[in-house]
Amino acid sequence: MSYFALSLKPTKIKATNYYRPTSKVPAVVESRKGEALAVAWSCYLKGGQTVEGVGQPRATFYAEAVAAAKSRSKKFCEWDGDGLALKTSVPLSTLFEEMAISANTMLQVLNHDGSVYKNACLFYFDEAHSLTISPKTGNSSRTRSRYHNLGSVLARLVRLPIFFIFLSTNTHLQKFAPSTRDHPSLRVLEGAYFIPPFTELPFDIFTNEALEKLTEGGKPRSIRNACNMEVMSSMGRPLWFAHNKLVEEQRILPPGASVDKVVDMAVAKLTSAGSPLRASQAELAALSVRVGIAFESMSPAAREVESQQVESHMRIVYAIPEHREYMRTGSSSEPVLAEAAGVHLNYISKHRGIYIEAPRILSENCQKGFLARGKRGELCGRLLLTVAHDIANPRFIAQFLFSTSFVHYLQKTTMKPS
């Protein structure tokens, strides 16, 4: 069994040992239940928390729990070069029985009302993609990833009011929820089925606040008045608005740690911090933000590129079909990210405009089969409109001149059947 499967294996321990790493539980729980209990825990763990780090209550609680887990694991396990292994052979059924006993003990501590239709607690595994790495030493007894083994173990708790969720920004779906033909197990676990990954991204949650503040000053809602960073950052991901607030606070508070400007940060995130190894992916991401690019979902190579765009270049996952063969992704309307894309495209074109680099980027990716064939006509239309937008901008009028590559790309794309 893998390390992560074993690390979650509770054992029969005395009550004093069980409560030692959770000495703060009685003070937090008291007689609270349900939502009131969750709020109490949240408030307790947020104590002393700042934008730069966690507070002392959370740090102490986690440190004690981790130390207790490591101490117990040393009694039963040892490193064998690829994780922890049991020192002595123990029947798997025995381990499962002890795990069930410990899980029920935990539910008693949480003061659950016993309803099987309500979850008593939720376990989440952040950055869970590290669990999907295959073992380095493949043999007959260790061939599956820790993620797959962990899933098999947790399935034994399926009838308890405990919910497990795996969180990750990594987009290799074939590892998290593989299609049926790729799953290593030929059996379907009792009472379980493969749940497609789902994505949740808050969007435009600060827009109303920014617009209300705009109108409070007697200004009408217009494009001119909205073209400031406070309003622009309120649209799209909460990340932009939160970062802009840090920038504004930095101007008021005494000098401290420098906070990059919002657009500068957006450029860094869009281009994967300007890594030379990702230059081609960065320019594709920037152009996609400006003109909207759809990938060829039937091509494995295109799906891999699309996955990398989500993972490292700010592309958004909209939905994941039940068959889990591919994702539905795109570049939603975000003024800050659009500004960042324009900055990057202007930089790589040496300030000559999008019409210089766009034909090359699109042509290269079309030839590689990455872009959706049935969408090339619409893509050309969006590119023309974007170029026209830049022409209308006084900053670009003096620089604009239809390049040979731009005209050649339009002729080549529109003449060939999609």
CA 231 to chain centroid, in Å, comes to 25
pLDDT digits (tens, 9 = 90+) for 168-222: 877 666 566 665 544 555 444 444 566 777 788 889 999 999 988 888 878 888 8
What stretches of 132-278 show up as alpha helix (H) in DSSP?
Answer: 146-154, 173-176, 207-216, 223-226, 229-233, 238-252, 262-270
Please give the Cα distance from 234 to 210 (Å, whole number). 6
- The residue behind tokens 């790729």 is 182
**CB contact burial 366-394 (16+ within 10 A = b; e otherwise):** beeebbbeebbeebbeebeebbeebeeee
Concatenate the DSSP letters of all residues of 86-143 into one string: ESS---HHHHHHHHHHHHHHHHHHTT----TTS-SEEEEETTGGGGGPPPSS-BTTB-
User: What pLDDT, on a 0 to 100 scale, did the predictor assign at position 360?
Assistant: 92
The tokens describing 313, both together, are: 């270049």
pLDDT digits (tens, 9 = 90+) for 64-79: 989 988 888 888 788 7
The tokens describing 161, both together, are: 């009011």
Q: For the chain, list residues with pLDDT below 50.
A: 1-23, 181-182, 186-191, 397-404, 406-407, 417-418
The tokens describing 112, both together, are: 């659950």
User: What pLDDT, on a 0 to 100 scale, did the predictor assign at position 395?
Assistant: 60
* Closest residue by Cα to residue 241 from 206, 212, 201, 200: 206
User: What pLDDT, on a 0 to 100 scale, did the predictor assign at position 261?
Assistant: 86
